[in-house]
Amino acid sequence: MVLTPLDIHNKEFHVKMRGYDQDEVNDYLDQIIKDYEMVLKENRELEKNLKFSEEKVTHYNNLQDALNKSIIVAQDAADRLKENSVKEAELIGLEAGKSADRLLDEAVAKAKEITIETEELRKQSRIFKQRLQLMIESQLEMIKSDEWDDILKPLQEETVELPILKELFSEIDYEEEQKEMTEIADNEEEWKDDENQKTEGTTPAIELP
What pLDDT, in 10s, does the model give residues 123-177? 888 898 888 888 888 888 777 776 666 666 665 544 444 455 556 556 666 667 6
pTM of model > 0.75: no
Distance CA 170, CA 29 (A): 185
Angle subtended at Cα 29 by Cα 25 and Cα 35, rounded to the nearest 5 degrees:
150
User: 66 burial class (0-12, 13-18, 19+ CB within 10 angstroms)?
Assistant: exposed
Distance CA 71, CA 75 (A): 6
Q: Which of 111, 113, 114, 115 is nearest to 103 (CA)?
A: 111
Could you list the beta-strand ranges (E) of the chain: none
* pLDDT-flagged residues of the chain (< 70): 1-4, 8-9, 11-21, 146-175, 177, 188-209
Residues 6 or more apart whose CB falls under 8 angstroms from that of 5 comprise 33, 36, 37, 40
- The helix/strand/coil state of 194 is helix
Is residue 32 within 8 Å of 8, Cβ to Cβ? yes
User: Across the chain, how many H-helices and E-strands are there?
Assistant: 4, 0
Angle subtended at Cα 184 by Cα 181 and Cα 190, rounded to the nearest 5 degrees:
145
Radius of gyration of the chain from its Cα atoms, rounded to whole angstroms: 74
pLDDT at 46: 92
